[in-house]
Amino acid sequence: MSDNLTLARAEQLLARLATENSHLRAENRRLRKMKVNTGPGRILNRAFDDATAMLAWRFAGYSISRDACEKLGIGDRRWEWARALLIVARIHDGADITEPDFDAALRRLAAAHDRITAQGNIDALILRRRKREPSRATNRATMPAPNRATLAAD
């Protein structure tokens, strides 16, 4: 008898969670369509969240290099945007965090985020991203491609 009650409660809980999940999905879709969450706004908000996490990690004694952040869940491109925001906020000098006070660093980061949001463009971040070296795949081939006739004869 108690097994039936437990099963009934579990089914009720599952139904409630499924309903909540569908409501949250609908709200997520609506929020993603908002102007602030598209294009540059989304990049800026994501960069702000990642930069905040990077600050916390750095003040906790972790490295915030590209490789270390990759292991902690921030990919290359997101790392570049977050680093650019830290540089714009004058917290990062291109090599490491320069602000010794965590609270002051957070205030400066929030001020830079608000300033860029008020401007309506993220050009300040784009100019401070790393310049990538061209991939080897885009360079010219060192040897010419083999002739199709010789490949067919083999």
Q: How many CA atoms lie within 13 Å of 21's alpha carbon, on the beta-carbon side?
A: 6
The region of weakest confidence among 3-12, 36-45, 94-103 is: 36-45
Q: How many CA atoms lie within 13 Å of 119's alpha carbon, on the beta-carbon side?
A: 13
The DSSP bridge partners found for residue 92 are: 97
The DSSP bridge partners found for residue 97 are: 92
Q: What is the pTM of this model?
A: 0.61
Ordered by start, the domain boundaries in the chain are 1-33, 35-129
pLDDT of residue 131: 58
Mean pLDDT of 85-107: 90
Rounded mean pLDDT of the chain?
A: 80
Q: Is 68 exposed, middle or buried (0-12, 13-18, 19+ CB in 10 A)?
A: middle
Tokens of 6: 């437990």
Percent of the chain with pLDDT over 70: 75
pLDDT of residue 152: 52
The distance from CA 98 to its chain's CA centroid, rounded to whole angstroms, is: 22
Interatomic CA distance for residues 15 and 48, integer angstroms: 36
H-state helical runs in the chain: 2-32, 40-59, 66-72, 76-88, 102-119, 123-127, 148-153
More confident call, 27 vs 105: 105
